[in-house]
Amino acid sequence: MRIRPPRSIETIHHEERDQAIRSLARLDRRGFLKVSAAAAAAAMTHGLTPHSFQPIRVAEAAAGAPGFRFAYISDSHLYERKQNDRFVRSLMRAVDDVNALDPQPDFVFYGGDLAQLGQAAELQLGAQILKELKAPVRMMVGEHDWYLDLGDTWRGMFGPPQYSFDHKGVHCVVLNSVVEADFWTERKLTPMERMRTVAGLDNGAQRPFTVGDAGRAWLAADLAKVGKTTPLLVFSHSPLYKLYKPWNFWTDDADQVQALLRPFQRVTVIHGHTHQLLTNRVGNIQFHGMLSTAWPWPYAPQGLPEYTIQMNRPDPFDPNDGCGDGEVVVHPDGLVDKIYQLWNRNPITIKSSFLSSGGKKDRPPAPSRGSY
Amino acid sequence: MSSNCAAGGSTSVRVAWCAALAAGCTTAAAGPDPAKVATHGAAPFAVQLERLAKLQHGIDLIAPPAGVDPVVWQAMIPKDNQPTAARIELGRKLYFDARLSADGTVACATCHDVTRGFADRRPVSEGIGDKLGRRSAPTTLNAALLTSQFWDGRAATLEAQAILPIVNPIEMGHKTGREATAAIASDPAYTAMFKAAYGRAPNYDDIGRSIAAFERTLMFLDAPLDRYLRGDTNAISESARRGWVLFNGKGRCVTCHPMNRANPIGSDGRFHNVGVSARHQKFGELARQAVSALAKSDTAEAIDRLALETDASELGRFLVTRNRADLGGFRTPTLRNAGITAPYMHDGTMPTLWDVMDHYNKGGEANLFLDGGIESLALTEPEISDLVALMFTLTDDRFATENTAELARQRAAAAVRRPFRDDALSTRKKLQFE
């Protein structure tokens, strides 16, 4: 006669997951969607979100349906290896994380700031590490890649900084949102002085980020070809809204860019630069930040969107804490679930339904570590 | 006796053991004669019991232990297993009862030996049929204060921990908890003791509960460092005093080994990849294998077997959570009584505390999942000696003689061999992954 031993939270989680997977066998597809939602909700209740080896099984089980999945890596800020080998190891780890995904994502999106000071050696080091990725890579530019030579090296390696592509019924647009008005000519700054000014997060000598007139004209022309019911996936390095100007957590012409996006029914913006869990919704536009592989930023002292589930202060003794990579699951309806794969914490998923419902449904569990 | 022998199979070992018992026992109720059971390098149980009685002489085993906040202590004890004399006595008897193993050669006390720091002084433990596992036996001393049990935390409580080795095929080898219970249930002494302890007949979960109740009496928290921290400046040597400064500063030890009144054992209870397993394993392939193995059977027993019998052992915490962030992560062990519980790390690959310092000094072992807090420390040789001196001040005074002997043995071993030392890495003249 055996009484079950006290069960750990993981055991309970896995039992529920197994229960859900077992019941799949008995269901048609319509029923399946209900069950997987229930399983996800059960996992949420226990503060455990799906992780790399698991959510995909659920997502892929609906094979045949449209929708897809991609991975992201962002903000690696590579110096030359002798100056900082930790950032190099971190990018290698992210590449390993993504390569371990089974099945592989459709593509890997790199969110900008591959280099710290835009130097050729830094960008080449990054490109060499990213070459190890098994899935195709899509690149975006960040200000750290750009302001040494105003993008010459980056363009030479990765092509134009603004481009679009269609993927499984979703129109994807990659923007250069780090365009700053000329602050360097008048001050007679050398290229490296200009670069270092921009690289200082709160250096007030620089100007705010923009997509710029030319960038918006390009965007308007690109979107003119796209039907308003087509889901849009927009990538920008800086958040395409106004969060906190002193740190350029900000795009100065965000209102004009949003105006171009507003006519579309389903729009998701994925951005880098902020190095943290960051979630927002402006009308029909949903916004998700990406994690950095190098370091987490603290939250800005003001302007934090109400939808953001804060990841709390990272452990100061563990430089990996608050860093990571992640995945984006694009649903058949074109909206996305954003998975933050944190290296020192449980993964966190922000579901599209959380944003669509105005924060009423599918609220993610509080982060696994309490506030300091 | 005869019913006992009949209960558990008929291997030659078993028969020999029964014969030895028949010669040594006077009454059936007495159970196996502890003096006759001393296998796999353990001290005879009679010797261990005598030693234990001396160690616990004059101590109230039911009251909260000295050195632990009584409120914290109470919160850590399951409601259905509050300590009583009957429960502790039953647990003690079971801890030293080799009938809990399929061939009658292994008890808890075999690998958690009173005379060997409540561990076994071996890199990995030896179970029935002399089979070797993959993990080093952690000490049961102060284990009650750990926030999870086993190196990968796969058991939440002592109660849940105690019942897994009994049914692991290479540890104690009973096929089921029912079989293990049957192996002792026919002993009338047990029938009475279970009745007194839990008010019911012998059963497997109460075996776990009583062993846990007994283990909660193994609290040994009275060390020279405690007296030093209470203000007795001369309680530890000058070298150890320098070690304490390094522990909290340059050595960064305190990051994962916090030592304070609320948490006196020096473990943060979290899981860290410090690179020990990275020396001989590739995580990615192992992780895929483990996940597919666990897709077939995801039980506590299945995880237990993967952890002890296969290369997947090196995945550590990942086996429990399947989270890549936990690859190669093992729970921070207690620092208490470290001096008498060599060898070190989850796989027992470090024979001395000098080796442990060498490992951390060079920033662990390169792997992508290395804990972020692990980095080159540039400790000098005298600084390493100071930290080792500090470690030996964490041994409870009741083990002082053993502690002195172990220090001498480790010092001699370290003088001959320092296999983990790498000055180029520790001073960052060479970078990892180069």
- What does the domain layout of chain B look like in residue ranges? 2-215, 224-275+332-426, 277-327
- Whether B215 and B91 have beta carbons less than 8 Å apart is answered as yes
> Would you say residue B212 has pLDDT above 70?
yes
Q: Are B2-215 and B224-275+332-426 the same fold in CATH?
A: yes
Residue of B323, B365, B371, B428 to mutate, interface with A, max A Cβ within 10 Å = B323
Q: What is the pLDDT of residue B36?
A: 53
Q: What is the mean pLDDT of chain A?
A: 85
Instruction: Give how far B391 is from chain A: nearest CA, Å.
Output: 22
From A271, A284, A263, select the one nearest A209 (Cα to Cα). A271
- The H or E element spanning position A174 is strand A170-174
- Whether B118 and B141 have beta carbons less than 8 Å apart is answered as yes
- Percent of chain B, pLDDT > 90? 79
From B321, B331, B326, select the one nearest B298 (Cα to Cα). B321
Q: What is the pLDDT of residue B46?
A: 95
Q: Which residue of chain A comes nearest to B249, CA vs CA? A: A317
The verdict on a CB contact (< 8 Å) between A14 and B323 is no
The verdict on a CB contact (< 8 Å) between B159 and A6 is yes
From B421, B331, B374, select the one nearest B147 (Cα to Cα). B331
- Check residue A315 and report its DSSP letter: P
The number of residues making up chain A comes to 372
CA dihedral A83, A95, A294, A181 (to 10 degrees): 90
pLDDT classification of B284: cutoffs 50, 70, 90 = confident
Name the least confident of A25-34, A234-243, A361-370, B142-151: A25-34
Q: Is B284 on the interface with A (CB under 8 A)?
A: yes
Q: Which residue of chain A comes nearest to B284, CA vs CA? A: A100
Phi, psi values for residue B129, rounded to 5°: 65, 25
Helix axes B300-309, B283-296, angle to 10 degrees: 150
CA pair distance A103, A123, nearest whole angstrom: 29
Q: What is the pLDDT of residue B363?
A: 94
Q: Which two tokens stand for residue B427?
A: 């001073």
pLDDT 10s digits, A206-257: 999 999 999 999 999 999 999 999 999 999 999 999 999 999 999 999 999 9
Residue of B149, B158, B321, B377 to mutate, interface with A, max A Cβ within 10 Å = B321
Across B73-131, the runs of DSSP E, i.e. the strands, are none
For β-strands A170-174 and A232-236, DSSP reports them as parallel
Instruction: Give how far B373 is from chain A: nearest CA, Å.
Output: 4
Q: What is the pLDDT of residue A33?
A: 40
- Check residue A162 and report its DSSP letter: S
Q: List residues bridging with A300 in a β-sheet.
A: none
pLDDT 10s digits, A273-296: 999 999 999 999 999 999 999 999
Q: Which two tokens stand for residue B312?
A: 């997947």
Q: Is B59 on the interface with A (CB under 8 A)?
A: no
Q: What is the pLDDT of residue A66?
A: 75
| Residues of B whose CB is below 8 A from A8 | 148, 153-156, 320
Q: What is the pLDDT of residue A58?
A: 38
Per-position b or e across A178-199, b if 16+ CB within 10 A of its CB:
bbbeeebeeeebeeeebbbbbb
Which of helix, strand or coil describes residue A48? coil
pLDDT classification of B134: cutoffs 50, 70, 90 = very high
Across B304-402, the runs of DSSP E, i.e. the strands, are 330-331
CA B427 to chain centre: 33
More confident residue, A255 or B277: A255
User: In the CATH hierarchy, which top-level class contains the domain B2-215?
Assistant: mainly alpha
Using a 10 angstrom Cβ sphere, with 0-12 exposed, 13-18 middle and 19 or more buried, the burial of residue B195 is: middle
| Residues of B whose CB is below 8 A from A347 | 323
Q: What is the mean pLDDT of chain B?
A: 90
> Would you say residue B34 has pLDDT above 60?
no
CA pair distance A327, A348, nearest whole angstrom: 11
Which of helix, strand or coil describes residue A350? strand
Whole-model pTM? 0.81
Q: What is the pLDDT of residue A335?
A: 95
Residues contacting B2, CB < 8 A, separation 6+: none
Given the structure tokens 């692991």, which residue do they identify? B168
CA pair distance A174, A195, nearest whole angstrom: 23
Q: What is the pLDDT of residue B16?
A: 35
For β-strands A336-342 and A285-289, DSSP reports them as unpaired
CA pair distance B327, B319, nearest whole angstrom: 8
The verdict on a CB contact (< 8 Å) between A1 and B203 is yes
Q: What is the pLDDT of residue A25?
A: 46
Q: Is B122 on the interface with A (CB under 8 A)?
A: no
Q: Which residue of chain A comes nearest to B153, CA vs CA? A: A8
Q: Write the CA distances from A242 to A208, A256, B53, integer angstroms.
A: 11, 12, 71
From A58, A41, A17, A343, select the one nearest B294 (Cα to Cα). A17
- Whether B269 and B148 have beta carbons less than 8 Å apart is answered as yes
> Would you say residue B4 has pLDDT above 50?
no
> Would you say residue B15 has pLDDT above 50?
no
For β-strands A108-110 and A137-139, DSSP reports them as parallel
| Residues of B whose CB is below 8 A from A315 | 373
CA pair distance A295, A325, nearest whole angstrom: 12
Contact pairs from chain A to chain B, CB under 8 Å? 96
Q: Which residue of chain B comes nearest to A85, CA vs CA? A: B431
The verdict on a CB contact (< 8 Å) between A11 and B160 is no
pLDDT 10s digits, A72-87: 999 999 999 888 889 9
**Nearest CB to B298: which of A5, A18, A320?**
A18
> Would you say residue A326 has pLDDT above 50?
yes
Q: Write the CA distances from B257 to A55, A297, B191, B248, B308, integer angstroms.
A: 34, 27, 43, 10, 26
The verdict on a CB contact (< 8 Å) between B372 and A85 is no
The verdict on a CB contact (< 8 Å) between B373 and A6 is no
The verdict on a CB contact (< 8 Å) between B252 and A51 is no
Given the structure tokens 């109400």, which residue do they identify? A306
Which of helix, strand or coil describes residue B345? coil
Q: What is the pLDDT of residue B33?
A: 54
The verdict on a CB contact (< 8 Å) between A100 and B324 is yes
Name the least confident of A28-42, A336-350, B84-98, B171-185: A28-42
pLDDT classification of A15: cutoffs 50, 70, 90 = low
Q: What is the pLDDT of residue B38?
A: 66
Instruction: Give how far A215 is from chain B: nearest CA, Å.
Output: 39
pLDDT classification of A323: cutoffs 50, 70, 90 = very high
Residues contacting B60, CB < 8 A, separation 6+: none
- The H or E element spanning position A338 is strand A336-342
**CATH, range B224-275+332-426:** 1.10.760.10
> Would you say residue A161 has pLDDT above 60?
yes
R_g of chain B computed on alpha carbons: 22
Given the structure tokens 């019913």, which residue do they identify? B3
The number of residues making up chain B comes to 434
The long-range contacts involving B379-386, CB below 8 angstroms and separated by at least 24 positions, are B379/B246, B379/B250, B379/B251, B379/B426, B383/B242, B383/B246, B383/B250, B383/B251, B384/B354, B384/B357, B384/B358, B385/B239, B386/B239, B386/B240, B386/B242, B386/B243, B386/B246
Instruction: Give how far A24 is from chain B: nearest CA, Å.
Output: 15
Helix axes A120-130, A85-99, angle to 10 degrees: 30
Q: Is B269 on the interface with A (CB under 8 A)?
A: no
Q: What is the pLDDT of residue B21?
A: 37
From B73, B15, B351, B71, select the one nearest B219 (Cα to Cα). B73
